[in-house]
Structure 1
Amino acid sequence: MAASIDPNLVLPPHQDFAALSTEAIAFITAQPGNAWTDVNPSEPGVALLEGALAGLTDLGYRLDHEVADLLAPAGAEADWQPLPPIDQALPTQPVSLDDLQKTLADHPLLNAASLLPVAGAAGHYQLRLTPIRALSGAEQAQVKQDVWRRFQAARPLGMLLDTIAFLSEAKLKLYPELELAEDAPVEATLAALVISWRRALTAPPVYLAAADCLAAGQSGDAVFDGPLLRQGVRQSQPPAPTQVLSSQLIDLALAIPGIAQVGSLLLGDSDGRRVDSAWSWTVPDGSFISLDLDALLPWWAGQQTLPKQSYDPLHRKGQRLRVNLDQLKALLAAPTAKPASPAALPAPFGRYRRLSDFPAFSQGLPPQFGISASGLNPAATPAEQAATLQLQAYLLLLEQQQSDQAAQLENIRRLLELPAGDWLGRLRALFVRMLASEALSAADADQFWDTVRGLPASILRQGAQPLPLAEQLLTPADLPAYRQAGGEPVLEDVLSERWLDRTLRRLQHLAARFGETLPDAALLRYRGVFGYYSPLLLASRHAPALDPDTLTRRLASLKQALDLAGFLLAFPRLSGGRGQGADLAAALHSRSGLELRVAARLGIALDDGDLSLGNREGLYLVEGALLTPGLAMLSEPTVPLANSVFWILPAYGSRLGDPSFRRLVEQAICEETPLHLTPWVCWLAADELNQMEKLHRHWRAKWREMGGPAAPDPDKPCSGKPCPDSPPGVWSRRKRLQDCSAALQRALLQAAFPLGDAAWQSHIAVSQLDANFTVGYPLVPQRRTVAFGRRIGDPTQPYVVAFTPALPLND
């Protein structure tokens, strides 16, 4: 079909050349004292006006390109990606029981996984695995280890896995009498029947590639809803049946091409000994169906018969058929389907439009204007040549503005992409030191301003190209610089008010695209911190001419921009793992998604150091459910421990010592903590935090021992006493974990409820911890304050003295 122009097309105002021309002429002629009376198209002023309007409508046309075209990369940037790809931004870690069961069942040897709550132990679960077939002992051990690690990596907050067990195999024996159609291949027909029966009885999971799901019409939100599975997108389907009906099996058999009739069908768990009225078979509780091919295939091959059997199991037109048993087994052993690939989807790039290529409209003027690429008219008088250069200079102002807009339109990809560059890490490290009240040297100040000069520009410009009379209009020294950058490289100086405002609005826009907002810099109390460092930074020889108050305000805005940049760069983890607990089995200092998210919102940097030995900001999260690891449950009549999370923070520091900032921290914690959990915030002084960190590190180390490579089989909790068949050291590790959990639990309750019952006081002294809970790593150093009046950060008068004695491995 030929393309045609819609006669009723209504152009938007920024593309309607005629409407813009009429409006411009009406505006000019309406000006008081206007001597311009000739507005015919041949009038030179009208020609100049229409040339400028042509450039404006061209920019308007470019603005209406598809967003994919505006963001399309050039050929040299084909791998450019502005935001996290769809398979990183949309999926999340498991947030529901169904999500977690899908994640744990995402294994080539598993059909399903069921999490069952442990009676009387909130937050504790038992895992029951349904294999796709009967597994060997080695396969079961490997699957358990894989599932255990997967649970620890994807564990939601407040959940603990006590046991892992496989469902027992329930073999179903089938003895069908079949009439095959003429010319039907025997082995291929029987293999198709076995595969159909096995699929109906076991309901194996079906995985599809994400690209195939999208091509089938499923939305991206539906395809990437929940966790991203390794085998692809799991499709919804009915579960495996709990009762097998012979009528359903007969219908499936008759649906196979080549099977003409089913004469009889015996089913059950014995060798065909059943009453004739039994036409169903119930799967035993705690079992999965397994089609007994060891009985079916030899029966078809004539190697086995049933009691009182007087018929042939396979025949065609009354003649008995022979079966090649080896060929049939080979057909059944062949893979029936290729596993789906969860490969990342390609970025939906559009067509690259070269938006910065914007020709100056003066080159299209009629020859009568004297402006041409060949230069000035040699026959013109000096006065006429000067008038032509003057006209070119006046037009350059408008042409430069339009060319700059085209350069910024080309730069829209950079404005809408995630922040990048070395300046992020350098500034973040410096701000962490400032928030920790550390002293800065003159070299630190010089490095700060060197980094500031390398901040990315917020506005770009370019010279008007081609400029017909550029050689005559500009001096030889100015012409190269103008053609390279348009006179000036940027319109907004970095760290200026306009640069900060534009940068913040750009980053806030990117965060809003994900439905995220971060607190304002005023709420984060940055100015009170940076006001102390502004005079030092301004003392640098590289510092611009600013007053300390202005620099303090701009530093607060810059730190807020860094917070937004860090939040966007870590968005897949902060968003998808917002309800995820720490992987205690992976590392001693692993963090939960909730910790990372709250810290990112508040501009708090998290690391592995000890908070009690300085003035650094930080926090810890302890899940109440993990304090009772499947052994003797501790009773707290007023605090439901399994539904609680404890936040540990220092009650001192530049910001954390401010009561208003503490209220902001508590508000953020309440907003981000999942609704089924109750947060308890423990604000601790330096000495109290020092003791709490010691307990917390010992407790994490015990969890690391229980969940590391030497972890015992998690399906043997031993009910609080040694298991007879436990490996050496398992019981001692469990007992030490229980004791350390009790000590940390009581310390947390005492910190959260300092006026509570004295029975909550820990019965394990610090000296006992030093002697009995060593794990081969340095203890949290002891804190010893010095005399009153000494300054923090003075190297000649240290505020604390730390020592870390070497400790032997005690297992």
Structure 2
Amino acid sequence: MAEYSIKRRQTHEKDRFTALKQQALADIQQLAGKRWTDYNLHDPGITLLEQLCFSLTELQYRCDFSMADLLSSPDGTIDFAALGLVSPEQILSCRPTTAADYRRYLLDQLPQLADIYLLPCAVSGLYRAVAVATQPDQPTAPLIAAIRRCYSAQRNLGEQLGQIDIIAPLHCEPVAELDVQSSADAVELLAEFYCCCRQLLQRSSARRSYSDLLAQGADYEQLFTGPLTPGGVLEHSESEQRQLHITDFFQPLQHIDGVIQLRQFHLRCAGQPCYDNLPLQQGLPVYYLALPDATQPPKVRLSMGNKTINIDWPAVVQRYQQKRFQQYSRWQTDIAALCPPPAGRYRASGRYHSVQALLPQNYGMQRPLAQSSPRQLQLKGYLLLFEQLLANFLAQLQQLPALFSPQHLTQSYYYQSLQDAGSRDVDALLYQDMNTTQAKLYQQLDDVLQRKHRLLDYLLALYGESLHQHSLQHFDYYHSAQSALLRRLQQKVSYLQQIVVMTKDRIAAPDHYAPLWRDAVGGFVRKQALLLDLAQTAQSLTTAVLQHKLRLRSDTDQLQQLYLDETSSNGVLLQQVPPLRIRYAADSRLLRHKLEDACCFDGNCLPEILLQTGIQLSNYRILLQQNRYQVLLKVPHSKQDEWWLVGSYRYYRRALIMANSLVLFLSHVSRASEGLHVIEHLLLMPEQSTAAELPAGFYSGHISILCPGWTARFADAGFQQLVTETLQMNCPAHLCCRVFFLDFAQMNRFERLFKYWRSALKADRHSADTERRALAQFIYRLQQPAEAADASAKAG
């Protein structure tokens, strides 16, 4: 009978408790060696030291819990989304990038598609598709529309799908004679024979499931290379296609279970016998296995010696269909179940047990307050100072999910009370309002924004990403210093919450089959909008002005100009406008009524310069003149003390409310108008390239990005340079990116042309020629001054 025992640990390393105690004794000897000479175990100081080392060992033990345990909630689950963590299949897979990727994606998304090939055209970025329908007799128009719609949803910037040809595959029928074993099931053998022939004929679209690849040793990085296709992974890429030879069929057919010898075999392709290479269509191996029908007997004969075996053909067809369904089912994979997220075990790591409860009984730490001596009370109070540090450390450990969560932005230091820690009479020893005092202290010392910035930088670094905001912080027109820091933090939170879009979809083009101004954005625009902290990405940029029935003007004729010296002592007193906390809603009728009283709104015309300078309350002054409180706005870059009269009021309170309301209104309109539109020139190419109205170089490899030039930030030359550099730096290297800043009238005209073109394109791409030509001419005229300026700069 075997004896079971615990093996002695063969190590010379000291345990944590011993190491801590020896280090503490060394420190004590160095600091108090002349006054404390007794370090024996009976010494009360050594007893306290041992209890402290034991408590620190417990802290270290809890820190060694697995990260899954520390992040688990009481029910054992981990909120990965709240922690900014995504699954491997989401972050490792990518959008279709090559022609082979698009082929794999389209075959997965469209069951009515048997095969498809994307062939590059002479124009860079333009593809021509050659497709084969699953049912050769089905109508081609719905299939072409489905291909375009599916491709548009995953299209990359500067790419387009041009002509789509639906070709009929070459019908192939095997002609064979097989010598089979006496024990072979003729129906099963013949069904397997036809399945094998079909797999060889359509080997270009053969697939393997993710679970099979994972079982064969593929890691996640290999498994999720390319686009995610739950319907299986293509075994052969487009570059591996080759012409089929009849000899390619011999070995697989010969190894079918029950086959003794393949006596004869060839294929009838398009009615003609093939004994060598199979013909190609447009250089592509596109074939279809034709099963014999009831009128024509199969051309495959099974024999057992000299005896021919009768075949139940309906049973063979039924078994063949079952095998095809089983094969299709094996390809399907539940991707979420393929990569199960780690699960943890909940640990109450924040629970603290008092050190005083572990001291020997003769210390009297567990005696009631009335029975404790003054020295015992003094020792209790002394130990509570250190115990509070230990308890707060455990509270910080317990709150790791909140600390690393991008959604918790109000606290980064955590603490807990000692009332439930096991010490007796804590309330009598501690300060009466200890919890409130501790909360105020932590609130003063907790620089939560700076600490959260560092934590979010760490989480972004897990994905190999970073978000630099040093240049952007110089253009915080709409925020105070404190709110700007919070805005930068929220920007990182949004980046982390959209990390899949920011990485995998960073070059995604707009989907022109999606609803206009809502989903037709694309990952490229979404990322640039977040990097530049733009208010919106999927809305018309002129809507913020037009919805208030306003018109922007570039002149300042409607503004009454005054000359006042703010620094002189001639009795003129210009008062600064203090900020008020007022309720604000951009669509409020009351607010609109207040603003109509302002003389700066003349016939619903709003000067652009007012929109750009009126967002800063520090630019306003109030002047009391002739018993009227006049609201003045500083003229920007004026050599003299020039002011614009914004409004005149009888009461001072109304003047204050009007100035603050105007700042809020103008800030809202200016910020809501900030965004960008991306125009890919390739999409504006005519159907017939020979009919191009514009130079050929205009279409291929060029995109134009249109930005508003009338808002507060976008009117700043420094911010325009930052926008241009950011967009060009993040644009794909093979595309030439030009950035234009339009005035309100130009942007309004562009958005009308763009809307007409998009609507016509969704209805019928062949009937959108007029709208396409008008939009192309608009973009081309925008480029002419820029090209002339570039040419003069190069000449200079």
Asked if the contact 1:574–1:597 (Cα under 8 Å) also holds between the matched residues in 2, the reply is: yes
Query: Match of 2:197?
Result: 197
Give the aligned partner of residue 138 of structure 2: 137
1:336 partnered with 2:326: yes
1:510 pairs with one of 430, 439, 459: 459
Instruction: Please give the secondary structure, in 2, of the residue aligned with 1:493.
Output: helix
- Tell me, yes or no, if the aligned pair for 1:242 and 1:282 is still in contact at 8 Å: no
CA shift for structure 1 position 364: 0.8
Q: Please state if 1:594 is matched with 2:628.
A: no
* CA displacement at 1:208 relative to structure 2: 5.3
Q: Which residue in the other structure is 2:779 paired with? A: 745
Residue aligned with 2:703, SS? strand
Contact 1:231 1:341 in 2 (8 A): yes
| Cα drift, residue 209 of structure 1 | 5.4
Can you give the 5+ residue segments of structure 2 that lack an aligned partner in the other structure? 546-668, 792-796
In the TM superposition, what are the counterparts of 1:8-19 in structure 2 within 5 Å? 8=11, 10=13, 16-19=16-19
Q: Does 1:358 align with 2:360?
A: no
2:519 aligned with 1:585: no
Shift of 1:681: 1.4
- State whether residues 204 and 237 of structure 2, in contact with CA within 8 Å, keep that contact through their aligned partners in structure 1: no
Question: After superposition, what is the alpha-carbon deviation per residue over 1:458-480, rounded to whole angstroms, capped at 9, x for unaligned?
Answer: 111112374444436537995xx
- Does structure 1 residue 672 correspond to structure 2 residue 730? yes
Deviations 1:519-540 (A, max 9, x none): 2355432455435xxxxxxxxx
Per the alignment, do residues 115 and 75 of structure 1 end up closer, same or farther by CA in structure 2, a change over 3 Å counting? same
In 2, the alpha carbon distance for the partners of 1:341 and 1:62 equals: 39
Letter in 1 for 2:728: C
Q: Confirm or deny that 1:628 pairs with 2:685.
A: yes
Partner of 1:574: 502
- Of 377, 384, 393, the residue aligned with 1:396 is 384
Tell me the alpha carbon deviations over residues 659-696 of structure 1, each in whole angstroms, 9 at most, x when there is no partner.
33333222211221000001111123x3xx42234223
Whether the 8 Å contact between 2:411 and 2:446 is mirrored in structure 1 is no
- The 1:45–1:123 alpha-carbon spacing in structure 2 relative to 1, beyond 3 Å, is same
For residues 208 and 644 of structure 1, what CA distance do their matches in structure 2 show?
39
TM-score between the two structures when normalised by the length of structure 1 = 0.73
CA contact (8 A) 1:695 1:740 kept: no
Secondary structure of the residue that 1:30 maps to in structure 2?
A: helix
Q: 1:367 aligns with which of 356, 361, 380?
A: 361
Q: Distance in 1 between matches of 2:228 and 2:251?
A: 37
2:485 to 538, 547, 557: 557
Q: Structure 2 vs 1, CA of residues 320 and 98 (structure 1 numbering), >3 Å: closer, same or farther?
A: closer
* Correspondence for 1:610 among 538, 541, 546: 541
Residue 307 of structure 2: aligned partner: 319
Partner of 1:7: 10
For 2:278, the aligned partner's letter is W
SS of equivalent to 1:198: helix
- Counterpart AA for 2:464: G
Q: How far, CA to CA, are the matches of 2:173 and 2:350 in structure 1?
A: 74
The aligned counterpart of 2:770 is 736
Contact 1:463 1:486 in 2 (8 A): no
Alignment correspondent of 2:568: none
Letter of the 1:667 counterpart: E
2:704 pairs with 617, 635, 646, which one? 646
Distance in 2 between the 1:80 and 1:691 partners?
Answer: 45
Deviations 1:187-216 (A, max 9, x none): 111111111111112116455555554454
Q: Kindly indicate whether the alpha-carbon contact (under 8 Å) linking 1:314 and 1:321 is maintained by their aligned counterparts in 2.
A: yes
Structure 2 counterpart SS, 1:37:
coil
Q: CA RMSD in A?
A: 3.3
Residue 248 of structure 1 is matched in structure 2 by 248
Structure 2: distance between partners of 1:294 and 1:313 = 13
Aligned residue number for residue 71 of structure 1:
71
Cα distance, 1:62–1:296 mapped onto 2, change above 3 Å: farther
Q: Contact conserved, 2:418 with 2:426, CA < 8 A, in 1?
A: no
Q: Which residue in 2 is equivalent to 1:283?
A: 280
2:395 aligned partner, one-letter code: A
Are residues 1:459 and 2:413 paired? Answer: yes
Same amino acid, percent of matched pairs: 24
1:2 Cα deviation after fit? 7.2
Q: CA deviation at 1:628?
A: 1.6
Q: Provide the C-alpha distance between the structure 1 equivalents of 2:391 and 2:215, rounded to a whole number of angstroms.
A: 41
Cα distance in 1 between the residues matched to 2:306 and 2:428: 104
Q: CA separation of 1:409/1:212 partners in 2, compared to 1, >3 Å: closer, same or farther?
A: farther
Separation in 2, partners of 1:358, 1:212? 48
- When structure 1 is superposed on structure 2, of 617-626 and 556-565 the one drifting more is 617-626
Tell me the alpha carbon deviations over residues 42-75 of structure 1, each in whole angstroms, 9 at most, x when there is no partner.
2111111111111112222222333223223321
* Structure 2: distance between partners of 1:122 and 1:213: 35
| Residue in 2 that maps onto 1:219 | 219
Gapped regions of structure 1 (runs ≥ 5): 305-311, 379-383, 421-454, 532-551, 713-729, 758-811
SS in structure 1 at match of 2:479 = helix
Cα 1:506–1:183 shift into 2, 3 Å: same
Which residue is equivalent to 1:524?
473
458-467 or 195-204: which moved more?
A: 458-467
TM-score normalised by structure 2 residue count: 0.75
Relative to 1, partners in 2 of residues 1:245 and 1:476: Cα closer, same or farther, differing over 3 Å?
A: closer
Say if 1:522 and 1:40 are closer, same or farther in 2 by CA, change over 3 A: farther
Q: 1:595 Cα shift?
A: 1.4
Alignment of 1:113 with 2:103, yes or no, is no
Cα 1:224–1:243 shift into 2, 3 Å: closer
Partner Cα distance (1:490, 1:296) in 2: 89
Task: Summarize the Cα distance change of 1:369–1:234 in structure 2 as closer, same or farther, 3 Å threshold.
Answer: farther
User: Could you say if the C-alpha distance between residues 23 and 516 of structure 1 is closer, same or farther in structure 2, counting changes exceeding 3 Å?
Assistant: same
SS at structure 1 position matched to 2:38? coil
Q: Return closer, same or farther for 1:100/1:10 CA change in 2, 3 Å cut-off.
A: farther
Report if aligned partners of 1:200, 1:240 keep a CA contact under 8 Å in 2: no
Cα pair distance change 1:510/1:699, threshold 3 Å: same
* Structure 1 residue corresponding to 2:753, chosen from 690, 698, 702: 698
Q: 1:273 to 1:680 in 2, by over 3 A?
A: closer
1:778 corresponds to which residue? none
* 1:99 maps onto 2:53 in alignment: no
Contact 1:457 1:490 (C-alpha < 8 Å) held by counterparts: no
Q: Residues 104 and 671 (structure 1 numbering): CA distance in 2 closer, same or farther, change over 3 Å?
A: same
SS in 2 for 1:168: coil
Question: What's the counterpart of residue 654 of structure 2?
Answer: none
Which residue in 1 is equivalent to 2:611? Answer: none
Return the alpha-carbon distance in structure 2 between the equivalents of residues 624 and 2 of structure 1: 77
Cα distance, 1:678–1:3 mapped onto 2, change above 3 Å? farther
Kindly indicate whether the alpha-carbon contact (under 8 Å) linking 1:180 and 1:258 is maintained by their aligned counterparts in 2.
Answer: yes
CA distance in 2, matches of 1:637, 1:238: 33
CA displacement, residues 261-298 of structure 1 (integer Å, 9 cap, x when unaligned): 22222333376767xxx444333435611223227994
SS of 1:456's partner is coil
Is the contact between residue 462 and residue 486 of structure 1 (CA under 8 Å) also seen in structure 2?
Answer: no
Following the alignment from structure 1 to structure 2, what is the Cα–Cα distance between the partners of residues 253 and 238?
Answer: 25
Q: Aligned partners of 2:705, 2:508: CA distance in 1, in Å?
A: 15
Inter-partner Cα distance in structure 1 for 2:294 and 2:5: 65
